[in-house]
Amino acid sequence: MLIRRDASLLLVVDLQEKLAPAIFEGEGVIGNSVRLLTGAGQLGVPAFISEQYVRGLGHSVEAIRVAAALNDQPDSTTIETKAGPTVNAKFFEKTHFSCAAEPGVVDLLRAAKRPQVILTGTEAHVCVLQTAFGLHAAGFEVFLVADATSSRTPESRNAAIERMRAGDIHVVTTEMVLFEWLHQAATDDFRALLPLIK
């Protein structure tokens, strides 16, 4: 099954200030998550950003906050799209490793009325993996973005991706998501997102 922009939402997990420096290939993970947040904003795809135990790990890294325009509004940012204003990048804090286990989060995601979840973040073998399986069990179709997900070690990252793939989680890349959201070339949307895929 292909990813559809009108059926999907983006969930960025725990790309936080005190954890990010320890993440294997962390700059790439953040960069690709920023690309997806930017594309989601331009295409009207709802986005959600989790922050694990902010007191200990800090808030999301600056690049994520900038992509989500967190400085404009503390909880979300409104982005103009062809369909009108779309509320994007809702932030929520959690203490459970799985977003799906945190009270209220599954209801928050279901309220978007999007059955597909595009999942990125850290750490792949802990919060991302538990979130993926939790959302899958809750009835979502989960797409793990492999090049926007990692752990402190490549071994943990690779084991997590292998386990998720074996557990019916779709493994995709950033460009797969962007091109499937776009669906065709020679459109205004394609031209708008071209800088993200060059």
Q: Is residue 141 in some structural domain?
A: yes
Q: Is 84 left (phi over 0), alpha (psi -120 to 50) or beta?
A: left
- pTM, two decimals, is 0.90
- Is residue 1 one of the residues assigned to a domain? no
Higher pLDDT, 139 or 81: 139
In CATH, what number is assigned to the domain containing residue 90?
A: 3.40.50.850
Q: Let me know if residue 3 belongs to a domain.
A: no
Q: Is residue 185 part of a domain?
A: yes
CB neighbours of residue 76 within 10 Å: 20
Q: Would you state the pLDDT for residue 198?
A: 74
Cα 37 to Cα 174: distance, rounded to the nearest angstrom: 11
Identity at 185, one-letter amino acid code: A
Residue 51 structure tokens = 């922050």
Per-residue pLDDT at 75: 43
Determine the Cα–Cα distance for residues 98 and 131; give it in Å rounded to an integer: 4
- For 164-190, what is each residue's pLDDT tens digit? 999 999 999 999 999 999 999 989 889
C-alpha to C-alpha distances, 94 to 14, 50, 53, 135, 197, nearest whole angstrom: 9, 7, 6, 15, 32
- Residue span of the structural domain in which 104 resides: 8-197
Q: What is the mean pLDDT of the chain?
A: 90
pLDDT digit string (tens) for 18-37?
A: 999 999 999 999 999 999 99
Q: In this structure, is residue 132 part of a structural domain?
A: yes
What's the structural domain count of the chain?
1
In a domain, residue 2? The reply is no
Residue 88, domain member (yes or no): yes
B/e letters for 4-17, b = 16+ CB within 10 Å, e = fewer, are ebeebbbbbbbbbb
